[in-house]
Chain A
Amino acid sequence: MAHPLVPVPTPETQPYWDGVAARELRLPRCRACGEAFFPPTPVCPNCTARDIEWFTASGDATLYSYVISARPSKLWNHEGPMSVALVALAEGPMLVSTIRGCDQTPEALQLDMPLRAAFAPFDEVELLVFEPAEPAGGA
């Protein structure tokens, strides 16, 4: 059996995990009210409609808040402290993730910094992570 921290999809969340396997962030969106939401559910949490479609999100996000955990799971195969972040997606929903591609320090992790979706190994699967976005216009 997989490690208890390895996510176990349900039929309702499987499209999200299919997206992760294809290295795409896919989100559910309600056709009735137009709201994207997370986590996936068959009933829109905004208007209770059941007319849900999936789309590939922009991957753009910003850093809402975070901690720097001294004891991340070994399944990340990550040396040293690791950020755990509240990430605000450009499409609206907030989710928990980690920020890669920069020092795991308060100096490097600036609130509201632009992020983009990426994927990183976790045990035998990959999970959604975020990286600092390239500076606009290139520096």
Chain B
Amino acid sequence: MQPGEIAIVGAAESTSIGTVPNVSSTGLALDGAANALADAGLTAKDIDGLTTGYFPLADISRQLGIFPRWGDNTIVGGCSWMFQLRSAAAAISAGYCETVLVVYGESGRSTRHLTNTSDFGARGGMGQQFDGPYGAGMPAAMFCLPVVRYMREYGLTLEQLASVPVAQRKWAAMNPRATKRDPLTVDDVLASPVVAWPIHRDMCCLVSDAGGAIVLTSAERARDFPKPPVYLLGSGGGLEAGLSSPAGVRDPLHPEFIRTSGRDAFGSAGITHADVDHLMIYDAFAHNPIFGLEGLGFVGAGEAGAFIAEGRTEPGGELPMNTNGGGMSYAHTGAYGMLCMLESIRQVRGDAAAQVDDVDIAVCHGWGGFWSACSTLVFGKDRP
């Protein structure tokens, strides 16, 4: 696939996000799908490819009135919809279908019920047998396991770790849809209760309700839509351990799957780090952007904590990151990959709440499971 061969022509969140009572996960997904179709000026009849992840494909196709020629239901955790978008681009390039709808919804806070998450913690699965009893269903107790060793290895301080949500709150303050917008200090973060030492509550993502969807098609067709196309310039992905813990990661402080995903994304897009105007790194916990910045090669090993603490990812910094406020301040449903991509797309379109100037190239990096999968996408304003 060539850089820019595929474009995003519709993208939207559910009408409401945050706390949305009395709407199911499926309901949030359908609302997001209808919004994305409206954004593209399309109806369900124009869609011939579908990905859903947390719902059986037949459930969503039937409820939306889509009769797809191609479908994909990959679930690798929170970045599943990023994996699916990459597969959808390949399917369009291969001629399996022309226009794909990627659908996500999760009532992570209010009603919770999902209909297709069977490989996550299922009875008899590896995570259920060998990780579950120790972590007891607490993501902070699993995802954050490498942090203490990283702190000793590189001298990362608790204050630097706390500076990650502080930096992102400055972006959230400009975003009316963000759940948390009040100013936050390092002292506030360290005064919040300990959830799983060294992780404090304010180093953890929110628990929210949200849906969202993306419409993509070939670049040739993309000129005919109401919104400016956002081109997919490159992509990468990687899988390493099981879904439930980092125990299978070969080098937990320098996970190879991040480097693989990043190299493939930057390589296929033909870009360098200096070309990146805007960055999203999925933040379920405060350490995620640190590992992401290093694994993707934006900074060297051990440098990311200071980089963030010095304000270089904040408003006015050289590398604007997590500009919707991130999972820790904007919204996080349980699987944040769709919301993460949608902020990248808004920034490239130029209609984000906290809009960064002149975003020509945006990189979006997401995680799945607790250090088991990741996905990296490169979006661009112009087709190369």
Contact = CB atoms under 8 A, between A and B. Distances in A.
Interface of A: 4-10, 13, 38-39, 64-73, 75-76, 81, 84-86, 94-98, 106, 111, 122, 127
Interface range, B side: 35 or more
Nearest to A95: B247
B196 interface: yes
Interface string B131-170: 1111111101110111111101000000000000000000
A86 B246 CA distance: 8
Give the interface centre of B130, B132, B134, B196 by most chain A CB atoms within 10 Å. B134
Nearest to B245: A96
A106 to B, nearest CB: 7
A8 B145 contact: no
Contacts of B134: 84-85, 96-98
B152 A68 contact: no
Given A4-B123, A84-B145, A94-B247, A67 B137 contact: no
A111 B152 contact: yes
B27 interface: no
B132 A67 contact: no
A13 B123 CA distance: 13
A7 B126 contact: no
A18 to B, nearest CB: 13
A67 B130 contact: no
Contact of A65 (B133, B146, B193): B146
B132 A68 contact: no
Give the interface centre of A69, A72, A75, A96 by most chain B CB atoms within 10 Å. A96
B128 interface: yes
Contact of A72 (B136, B140, B146, B147): B136
Given A6-B133, A95-B247, A67 B252 contact: no
B139 to A, nearest CB: 11
A67 B123 contact: no
The 8 closest A-B pairs by CB, nearest first: A73-B136, A65-B149, A67-B196, A68-B197, A7-B129, A69-B141, A8-B123, A8-B124
B195 interface: yes
A111 B133 contact: no
A95 B196 contact: no
Nearest to B197: A68
A96 B124 contact: no
A46 to B, nearest CB: 11
Contacts of B196: 67-70, 84
A13 B144 CA distance: 27
Given A10-B124, A65-B145, A94-B247, 9 more contacts: A6-B133, A9-B124, A64-B252, A65-B149, A68-B194, A69-B135, A72-B136, A84-B141, A127-B133
Contacts of A85: 134, 145
B128 A66 contact: no
Interface in B90-126: 121, 123-124, 126
Given A8-B123, A65-B252, A71-B138, A96 B130 contact: yes
Contact of B145 (A5, A66, A72): A66
14 contacts: A7-B132, A8-B124, A9-B124, A64-B149, A65-B252, A67-B197, A68-B194, A70-B193, A73-B137, A75-B136, A96-B247, A97-B134, A111-B149, A127-B133
